Chains A and B, each alone.
Chain A
Amino acid sequence: MDLVLKIWRQKDAEDKGKMVAYNVTDISEHMSFLEMLDVLNEQLVSSGEEPVAFDHDCREGICGMCSLYINGEAHGPDRGVTTCQLHMRMFNDGDTIFIEPFRAKAFPVIKDLVVDRSAFDRIQQAGGYISVNTSGNTQDANAIPIPKPDADEAMDAATCIGCGACVATCKNSSAMLFVGAKVSQYALLPQGKVEAKDRVMNMVNQMDKEGFGNCTNTGACEVECPKGISLTTIARMNREYLSASVTED
């Protein structure tokens, strides 16, 4: 198929940036979206132009590095996938495709389609861990039985890949789904209970400090999340936060 791509080009963080149109031809429906961009970049490089910079790494939907806002949707039109798992069979010959970076105040553009998501790291550093030393002198793994439904639910929350689609898609640029997922994982497990109060307070405070917006329960994040993280994680975080705030020392 032949396509027109309208892509956000921005030289660096200071540059104003603009949409630029490119044509690609002979695109196979079996290609992934990023392979289609590879084709474009090979064209650009061959003619001595700078390729379009975009983040990507594992190309199997798990590292969370790829992003892209495609035709107004985070990770494009398919559901339950990252951009690297999106395939060209979702598009038609002659389509014009708009490709933009994830946009949020807390995700400044570095170049073209590459954004800085280190705010996510800083939220995790504020409390996204259990304070246990890694020396191996812990109790036997089977010493604490965990009900299977709890373990499974914790796992569902833990599958968040930290891509930022929830933020990009939210009209408030809220990071509540991302933070809710981590808070929920630990809240559901006995190991996480000890520091539960501090964790939720610190992570939420850091989230606010980074400039993410609040949640208005629209639920767009849940729809666009490539890993299907549930909105209930936000509810659980709110409950944890509330109970932590009223019982604070």
Chain B
Amino acid sequence: MSKLDSKIPKGPIKDKWTTYKDKIDLVNPANKRHIDVIVVGTGLAGGSAAATLAELGYNVKAFCYQDSPRRAHSIAAQGGINAAKNYQGDGDSVYRLFYDTVKGGDYRSREANVHRLAEVSTNIIDQCVAQGVPFAREYGGLLDNRSFGGVLVSRTFYAKGQTGQQLLLGAYSAMNRQIARGKIEMFNRHEMLDVVLVDGKARGIIARNLVTGEIERHSAHAVVIASGGYGNVYFLSTNAMGSNVTASWKIHKKGAYFANPCYTQIHPTCIPRSGDYQSKLTLMSESLRNDGRIWVPKNMDDVQAIRSGKLKPTEITEENRDYYLERRYPAFGNLVPRDVASRAAKERCDAGYGVNETGEAVYLDFGAAIERYGSEQAKLKGLVNASKEEITSLGEKVVEAKYGNLFQMYEKIVAENPYKTPMMIYPATHYTMGGVWVDYNLMTTIPGCYAIGEANFSDHGANRLGASALMQGLADGYFVLPYTIGDYLSDDIRTGKIPTDTPEFEEAEKNVTDRINQLVNNKGTKTVDYFHKRLGKVMWDKVGMSRNTKGLEEAIEEIQSIRAEFWSDVLVPGRADGMNTELEKAGRVADFLELGELFAKDALDRNESCGGHFREESVELDGEQKGEAKRDDKNYAYVSAWEYTGEPKDAILHKEELEFKDIELKQRSYK
């Protein structure tokens, strides 16, 4: 029997969340003092959840593998955060944000969750401003907005190109307030290595102290996983080096279903890779597509000349450029959603029009924006006969004010000045929409175990819109989980402290220790990175931007054999009883080697194209949409929730049928 009960409240979609909040059980403040909650991960979701739960009165234990909660990878989010404030008066509303998110997710998300997200979005901005987050402002002193892909309104709030940083520091400051009060006990440089179940409920975790190597038992009445996404399964991604699937994968192995692993976002604007030594890819914010125009040369001769260094992109005239997004999608142009933009770049590069040595790069050009802003500034300053140079210089200043830090970042990595020559970009793995399956309460299929933020699957369907990850992380942590978890914990007011000297904790600890010893004692011949790179190559080539049956079947076999080889031949030097960075990596890669297989299996099962998941077998064959991805609502309008049964290949598929009562299912058109 399937355990999939989404627990969506009854009633009209607009009232669900309000009615739900009115009806749930609460825990009185005196009792909250006797209840412990563990939060794993301190990004936007985990940090905001830990702070809010502590403020409500629960005793929180928060864990992160970094040396400080402020370093979680939410910090790297650049562009902004969406909210249905309609400050611009351009027709935005909660409904429109809800609609855009469901449509942008290619109708593969759960309506009720998305509507709730849109509802609480406005609170987030109020909250963050109250916390002192320095959002960008207009000259009148009010908040500024910009546009992101896939929408027709300006609803994105931002703090230069460092929005994630500022929001995370806001959540971190809220955590600090609670740490100072003793309501959050913070465990830096700790990694969760298993969840402990007592009578079927999540009652604690086993964690490794990454400084001393000590294996620790921590108990609680509920466990919240906020450990982010699994993009590093590709080895190269825009994730931080330490980002991993381990916490999510451990709870999966203990009974939490893993949903839609194949929904991965390949972000269109990243700095192209340059060599085999490369350790990560760097994102250039989607906000750049507000002002940057994407193109490749129209003529193959020009492509050749550029690659051989005989021609500069600025020397190619307008009529010889192919602004392929504007050509193919006139309504949205350069601001089509990410999946569409990525595939279009791949299409051009596969056709041979890539503009760097590897053939995997397209231009993102600010020339037109610089000229437009420059002319505007010249008018404002009353310069009647401004020279071209003056206009360019004025325009560059405007662009610098908007994106200065991104341009600087680009210049440092590539050693080219993006004000003078177009940026080169190419898609890269960025975000994972899939994740641990959760119900409306954000609870996994393990009672008392929750998953929030990127770690869960619920809000973005098959494709996430830009500036929505920050929104979801903070919505889950500040405004959703603190309510829903109370409903569960209200049954625990008489439970008392959970002891850790029980057989359940003992067994979990032993399993963790055994596995660590196995890795350290294996003494093989190959490094952890050797296996991780091989896994990444299989994932990128066969489970990347474009997938087909043959490739996916091969991928499954190849991943199985890499995994077998890993366990027989991996070399982890050093000891387990102290800081050992190779051991940390080994544990994470071992889990990626299992997840990767489930990922490919899920992609194989879903024989339709939707959002970031593109199956070559499922494309529109004729009409205006010819060549575009073809969704199959008749057969695939469900969430794939996988149950672990021993090996990824034996995972059992459970289906949560998606119902669309408020939004009509349509083909996504951005033409």
Q: Which residues of A contact B (CB under 8 A)?
A: 11-12, 28, 30-32, 34-35, 38-39, 42, 44-46, 48-51, 53, 55-65, 78, 80-81, 85, 87, 89, 110-111, 114, 116-118, 120-121, 124-126, 128-136, 138-142, 144-148, 151-152, 154-155, 158-159, 161-162, 185-186, 189, 191-192
Contacts and interface: CB of A to CB of B under 8 A. Distances in A.
Given A62-B76, A87-B413, A118-B68, A129 B126 contact: no
Contacts of A65: 66-67, 71
A62 B143 CA distance: 24
B165 interface: yes
Interface in B188-210: 188
Interface string B46-75: 001001100100000000001111111101
Contact of A139 (B126, B240, B242, B282): B126
Contacts of B143: 141-142
A64 B71 contact: yes
A162 B274 CA distance: 30
A145 B275 contact: no
The 7 lowest CB-CB distance pairs between A and B, nearest first, are A145-B141, A129-B173, A136-B123, A138-B130, A155-B134, A141-B129, A57-B240
Most buried by B among A51, A85, A125: A125
B126 A63 contact: no
A55 B581 CA distance: 10
A131 B177 CA distance: 7
Contacts of B172: 124
Contact of A130 (B132, B160, B282, B527): B132
Given A35-B279, A51-B581, A80-B408, A136 B120 contact: yes
A35 to B, nearest CB: 5
9 contacts: A57-B241, A59-B282, A60-B282, A126-B180, A138-B130, A147-B137, A152-B137, A154-B132, A186-B132
Interface in B275-305: 275, 277-280, 282-283
Nearest to A139: B126
A62 B162 contact: yes
A148 B159 CA distance: 12
Interface of B: 48, 51-52, 55, 66-73, 75-76, 85, 87, 120, 123-132, 134-143, 159-160, 162, 165-166, 169, 172-174, 176-177, 179-180, 186, 188, 211, 238, 240-242, 274-275, 277-280, 282-283, 408-409, 412-413, 415, 478-479, 527-529, 571, 573-574, 578-582
Contact of A151 (B73, B135, B238, B527): B135
Contact of B134 (A64, A80, A158): A158
Given A117-B68, A124-B172, A139-B126, 4 more contacts: A138-B126, A141-B125, A141-B143, A158-B159
Contact of B68 (A30, A120, A135): A120
A155 B573 contact: no
A208 B186 CA distance: 22
Nearest to B274: A30
Contact of B173 (A128, A136, A139): A128
Contacts of A131: 177
Given A62-B165, A63-B71, A85-B409, A42 B529 contact: yes
Given A57-B241, A158-B134, A45 B169 contact: no
A34 B186 CA distance: 28
A48 B573 contact: yes
Given A50-B574, A62-B165, A87-B412, A148 B141 contact: yes
A58 B126 contact: no
A30 B124 CA distance: 41
A73 to B, nearest CB: 16
Contacts of A89: 415
- Interface residues of A, dominant DSSP: loop
Nearest to A89: B415
B132 A32 contact: no
A148 B68 CA distance: 31
B240 to A, nearest CB: 4
Nearest to A111: B579
Contacts of A111: 578-579
Given A118-B188, A134-B55, A59 B241 contact: yes
Contacts of B125: 141
A59 B240 contact: yes
Given A129-B177, A135-B52, A140-B126, A147 B527 contact: no
Contacts of A63: 66, 71-73, 75-76, 240
Contacts of A59: 240-241, 279-280, 282
A68 to B, nearest CB: 14
A107 to B, nearest CB: 11
A46 B67 contact: no
A49 B573 contact: yes
A131 B139 CA distance: 28
Nearest to A116: B67
Contacts of B278: 35
A73 B277 CA distance: 25
Contact of A136 (B169, B409, B412, B479): B479
B70 A162 contact: yes
A34 B274 CA distance: 15
A192 B188 contact: no
Contacts of A32: 279, 413
Contacts of B141: 145-148, 151
B242 to A, nearest CB: 5
Contacts of A186: 132
Given A42-B529, A151-B135, A58 B173 contact: no
A158 B168 CA distance: 11
A148 B139 contact: yes
B277 A38 contact: yes
B76 A58 contact: yes
Given A42-B529, A124-B176, A148 B126 contact: no
Contacts of B283: 60
Contact of A28 (B72, B277, B408): B277
A80 B405 CA distance: 10
B70 A64 contact: yes
Contacts of A42: 527, 529
Contacts of A152: 134, 137
A142 B159 contact: no
B140 A145 contact: yes
Contacts of B479: 136
A57 B242 contact: yes
B617 to A, nearest CB: 36
B67 A55 contact: yes
B51 A148 contact: no
Contacts of A81: 412
B131 A132 contact: yes
Contact of B76 (A12, A53, A60, A128): A60
Contacts of B137: 145-148, 151-152
A64 B163 CA distance: 15
Contacts of A124: 70, 172-173, 176
